[in-house]
A and B are shown apart, each in its own frame.
Chain A
Amino acid sequence: MGLTGLVGRWPLLRQFSEGDALGLGRAVRSKQTEQLRPRTADADRVVKSVCPYCAVGCGQLVYVKDGAVSQIEGDPASPISRGRLCPKGSATKSLVTNPGRELRVKYRRPYGNAWEELSLDEAMEMIAERVIETRRATWQDEDADGNKLNRTMGIASLGGATLDNEENYLIKKLCIGLGIVQVENQARI
């Protein structure tokens, strides 16, 4: 910025040149203020979503900039929520971006005293093996009276109320296939 420009930004001069003699308004606007825009204005896209907390199902708008979430707020179009959110819903961006979120697999071996690192694929392989072994070790073909059971009581699953319908369906379907009957979620709790 040249000297003319600098002097031109000098508030005192602006107070008089911009009709703001007391320097309370326009004359003292900083450059940052002049350029002020909501960060949602330059979002690459706005994605429709639903609040992940309670079961009211408030509409959310997720603003994305450079592949990251820049803002989450209410979706005015929703006939349920009309753009409003409660404190938890309003904290949704923090839920997604908070520094305490775990991003890596953690493994604790039996009797271990610390978490260890493990690759996701290795973890998945190990879990698959645990399922197969436990299932085989605890399989029940039938009860004492010869009634069919066709199941394992050695494995249980809990959770689903925070998950999508499709995820619940697939969990149930997989458990049906594996003979796991102890499939439960928060609805019982």
Chain B
Amino acid sequence: MRHGDGQTTYGLQIQPRVGFFTDTSVCIGCKACEVACKEWNLVPEDGLVWSGNSYDNTGELSANTWRHVAFIEQQVDDGFRWLMSSDVCKHCTHAGCLDVCPTGAITRTEFGTVVIQDDVCNGCGYCVTACPFGVISKREIGGDGGMHKCTLCYDRLEDGLEPACAKACPTKSIQFGPLDELLERAHGRLEDLRESGVDDARLYGADENDGVGGMGSVFLLLDEPEVYGLPPDPVDPTRNLGAIWAAAAAAAVVLAAGVAFAFAGETDG
């Protein structure tokens, strides 16, 4: 069982680590994931701007876009192809955003997912630069000024429901489940595709030795990650900073009173 940093702190409450397997070879680019996500999570509209970039008018992941379907029009050896792929937060094993968050707003859940807690986040933005995927940003328009990203529908998980995007996905390009099972499925699917001659098929995020310790969102791609706008070799910028961070934590004790005071603002309402 692979855990994400901090997941084991849940002790007996720990749950199997869950995630997404996004099989882009069956993605039909319908964007149901984008809409289902927004409807469930009440994510605001992200601007009515026509990009001209194939059918992608979403552009990138952000505070107001937690699922983003990329469209890639390509000339390849045996003709033309149109790749589609739904991107999402990777819920990294070693999550830079989580490591750098100074307020404790970002937390690893008992499911191994990485979640920003709205009621704690003060919008400082440290997490933005710590994410090698550019997943996080601040909700400026009509929002709380806080940072937002995919929660893997944490609230739904609490009731045993699957995330809204995975549930809606018409072709099950987006699959949800225990990460171990998803990884097994992903490898199986890769094998099938390779056997049928799709030599360029590859997994992304399935390697626990990669720069983020493996991802909670695993992808099956049909081309290089860069083609989909994914970094080929993502690195958690804090991964060598463990010792430094521990020292910082100790230093934080000095600031204890101040932080405690900040928490006093939180009432039962």
A and B in contact, CB less than 8 Å: yes
A22-B246, A72-B39, A84-B167 are known contacts; what are 9 more A-B pairs with Cβ within 8 Å? A10-B259, A10-B260, A23-B104, A25-B5, A27-B9, A33-B119, A36-B158, A86-B32, A86-B168
**B107 to A28, Cβ gap below 8 A?**
yes
A73 CA / B104 CA spacing, docked (Å):
33
Residue contacts A-B, CB under 8 angstroms, 15 given? A1-B266, A6-B264, A11-B263, A25-B5, A25-B6, A25-B7, A27-B104, A28-B104, A31-B119, A32-B117, A40-B161, A73-B164, A84-B167, A87-B35, A90-B168
Smallest Cβ-Cβ distance to B121: which chain A residue: A30
A38 CA / B246 CA spacing, docked (Å):
35
| 8 Å CB interface, B1-54 against A | 5-11, 13, 30-32, 34-36, 39-40
A49 on interface, CB distance cutoff 8 Å = no
A residues engaging B (CB < 8 A)? 1, 6-7, 9-12, 15, 18-33, 36-41, 71-74, 83-91, 93-94
**A30 to B39, Cβ gap below 8 A?**
no
**A84 to B168, Cβ gap below 8 A?**
yes
**A84 to B169, Cβ gap below 8 A?**
yes
**Per-residue interface assignment for chain B, residues 149 to 171, with 1 indicating a CB less than 8 Å from any chain A CB and 0 otherwise:** 00001111011010010011110
Closest beta carbon of chain A to B76's beta carbon, Å = 28
Closest beta carbon of chain A to B244's beta carbon, Å = 13
Closest beta carbon of chain B to A5's beta carbon, Å = 9
Question: Which A residues are CB-close (under 8 A) to B118?
Answer: 32
**A24 to B108, Cβ gap below 8 A?**
yes
B247 on interface, CB distance cutoff 8 Å = no
**A85 to B168, Cβ gap below 8 A?**
yes
A71 CA / B39 CA spacing, docked (Å):
8
A83 CA / B162 CA spacing, docked (Å):
11
Q: Quick one: given A12-B252, A30-B120, A38-B159, are A86 and B259 in contact (CB under 8 Å)? A: no
Q: Quick one: given A20-B9, A38-B161, are A93 and B32 in contact (CB under 8 Å)? A: no
